[in-house]
A = this chain, B = another copy of it.
Amino acid sequence: MNILETKIPGSRLNDILRRKHLSVTDSRKKILSLFLNSKDALAHGDIEKKAGEKFDRVTVYRTLQTFVEKGIIHTIPTADNSIRYALCKECEEGHHHDEHVHFVCTNCGRTICLDDVVSPKIELPEGYTAQEVQVVINGVCKDCNHD
């Protein structure tokens, strides 16, 4: 079985899946490699396109759901309907906390994890307790600002 045109060694894909007690299959390796090779967050549609005709649409849905449940990827809410998914540094190490800032470029449309920018502490009104803080910043990304 080949490693599906990627820079990511197959062993690494295996490791990540195994660590999450998932069986290693072509579709999971392929989809995981898409995330590992992408700097940006991916929407369901992106994954279908990038994976080619190789996998059933339903398999993509199920794989993404499994990955989210196992903490391999996380969802990023965006103002337009399209949920995006991203695998981030922290997630790879096994402990899932996506308390970093997400950036959506209004020019190129890319959604980017800013792993190094941590969500700020926010004072909540009396009675509210926070579990998770999601920050999505819309603006112009590095690449687009160069033009």
Contacts and interface: CB of A to CB of B under 8 A. Distances in A.
Interface of A: 75, 77-79, 81, 83, 101, 103, 106, 114, 116-117, 120, 122-142, 145-146
Given A122-B137, A136-B134, A145 B127 contact: yes
Given A120-B122, A123-B117, A124-B114, A130 B135 contact: no
A77 B128 contact: no
A137 B75 CA distance: 14
Contacts of A114: 124-125, 128
Q: How many copies does the complex hold?
A: 2
A78 B135 CA distance: 11
A125 B114 CA distance: 8
Given A77-B77, A78-B77, A83-B81, A130 B123 contact: no
Contacts of A103: 124, 128
A141 to B, nearest CB: 6
A67 to B, nearest CB: 15
Residue of A83, A101, A126, A146 ringed by the most chain B CB atoms within 10 A: A101
A21 to B, nearest CB: 24
A101 to B, nearest CB: 6
Given A79-B77, A116-B125, A117-B124, A139 B130 contact: yes
